[in-house]
Structure 1
Amino acid sequence: MSRRPSHPVRLLASALAAGALLSTAACSDGGGSESAADTAAEQAAVAERNAAKQTPSGSPTGSPTGSPSASPGTLTESGAKAALLTEADLEGDWNQVGDADKWRDRLLVGEVDVSDFLTAKADASDCQQLLDGLYRDNLLGEPSGPSALTGFEQGDSRLLEQVAGYDRAGLDDRLKWMASLPQKCDEFTATDDGKKRTVQVTETSVPDVGDAREGLHVTVRGDTDGTPVTLTLDVAAVRVGTSALTVTGGGLDGGQSSSVQQGVRQGTERLQTVLAGKTPSPQPTNLD
């Protein structure tokens, strides 16, 4: 569809048409097969069509005139660190620590008992990936871009957050994989050094933030130095573009569902702010 010429272009066409009319009138003696008025009208139409093929800047009709929309922000190393939670983002007495990257819970170490999976042996490998991912803090797989991690302690409970950039397709696959675990890994046994542990996995709710999200509630029942213990973890992952944050909270005192949810809300807001090229506010806005 031809675009209607802008006002300056219409003025140019009119001027050309007027010049053509005067020239024709001056040269015509009225004896030709065409009248001067017909010739002038035809030349004016040609002039207007030629003028309409140019935009005010001289670009051909149909070329983009506006600047392309800005692409989504890309996570940087400094941005990943800026997006991390702070003590101010969490309710309660959470204290930030400096060695969260060294946290490892031995109760998460173990080899999944394949005999628990009578009809779906392949599910055992998914449950093994779950345990390994929780132990190594890479439940969403290894980041393909920048990453940063922080942790907090409150009594015997811990809260861990990781912000990282990922491959989009791989990230979506991992979120779908997380969603399948409550069914695949409902309850199973893991063994470490002859000690058996019972693991249960259920789905848990995650605040409606980001572009996609998944949550898990995991309990591991075993013993430490001959004393029965239960490790309880609440895990939530949220995707924002090609970046994601993972928040894991809990310990031997029980799960930390409310703190994880609060961390997810605040963490997602901080990540979105960073990806928009801004600096997160030191004063959280989503605390109840």
Structure 2
Amino acid sequence: MTQRPPRPVRVLASALAAGALLTTAACSDGDDSGAGSADTTRISSSPLAQESPSALTAAGAKAALVTEADLEGDWDQVKNAAGWQDSLLVGKVDVADFLTAKTNAADCQKLLDALYDDDLLGKPSGASALTGFQEGESRLLYQVAAYDKNTLDSSFSWLKSLPDKCDQFTATDSSAGKRTVQVVEAPLPKEGDARQGLQVTVQGTSGGTPTTLTLDVAAVRVGADAITVTNGGLGGADHDSTETAVKLGTARLQDVQAGRTPSGDPSEIE
């Protein structure tokens, strides 16, 4: 099977500079409700607290990533997540499937390409960070990034339309092999300002053996920043892990936006 040229490997933001933690002043009215642990009552003098909450920094994006300790199960953090590409997602959408709405074929093609390229919400306009975890044959890719607000709104509208536009279609690989793709809406915790969950299944062959790739896809907007989660594999998708990543990841991003240091900084990934 012909593979696409590899993408440039993304470099995660450097580790946060150490900074002294100051106790929250009384003028905060003692209101630190929302996500996070007791550590979220502290204000950091690191770059996280020195930037406007509306401007996600490289250090902030790195700090907002979920950690191995955040996820349930036996997920192990990996160092090569930026190079993950599943060949089952490579294919040309069969426009003949869209007899009365051929423009929908372009949206379905965009979905396959975005899942393969890990840019579900488009290219970030600012800082971004990425990490990945593996449990058996399943992989969980987690990203945090800053986007242009109007572009982000358009991306969420597009995602919401996909269960109707791309409920089932056929994609053809470079060897003329046929793959059946199904897209359904998936529930997500009510986190952030907007959210959209999908489950994408791709039925085809791998090495001449029938196989099915199942992916949970989740996106959550928090202001002009967003998190995205892609979780699954040939053995299915663990939706509980997707929900956990969404809940704890949104809380971490909100902490960063408010100038707080999330508890449990991500481990180093070269």
- Aligned equivalent of 1:100: 81
2:171 pairs with 1:205: no
The 5 A counterparts of 1:33-182 are 72-182=53-163
2:180 pairs with 1:225: no
CA contact (8 A) 1:82 1:279 kept: yes
- Aligned equivalent of 1:62: none
- Aligned equivalent of 2:259: 277
- Aligned equivalent of 1:246: 228
- Structure ranking higher in helix proportion: 1
| TM-score, with structure 1 as normaliser | 0.73
Cα offset, 1:71, TM superposition? 6.5
Cα offset, 1:257, TM superposition? 1.0
CA contact (8 A) 2:53 2:256 kept: no
Higher relative contact order (CA 8 A, sep 6+): 2
Residue 186 of structure 1 is aligned with which of 136, 150, 167?
A: 167
| TM-score, with structure 2 as normaliser | 0.78
CA distance in 2, matches of 1:243, 1:123: 27
Unmatched segments (≥5 aa) in structure 2: 1-50, 266-270
Which residue identity is paired with 1:246? T
CA contact (8 A) 2:53 2:259 kept: no
2:238 pairs with 1:256: yes
**Misfit runs of 4+, over 6 Å:** none
Which residue identity is paired with 2:210? P
Which residue identity is paired with 1:135? Y
Which residue identity is paired with 2:96? S
Where 1:164 maps in the other structure, the secondary structure is strand
CA-based RMSD:
1.2
CA contact (8 A) 2:57 2:127 kept: yes
Which residue identity is paired with 1:256? D
Decide which structure has the larger Cα Rg and report it.
1
The 5 A counterparts of 1:7-26 are none
The alignment covers a number of residue pairs equal to 214
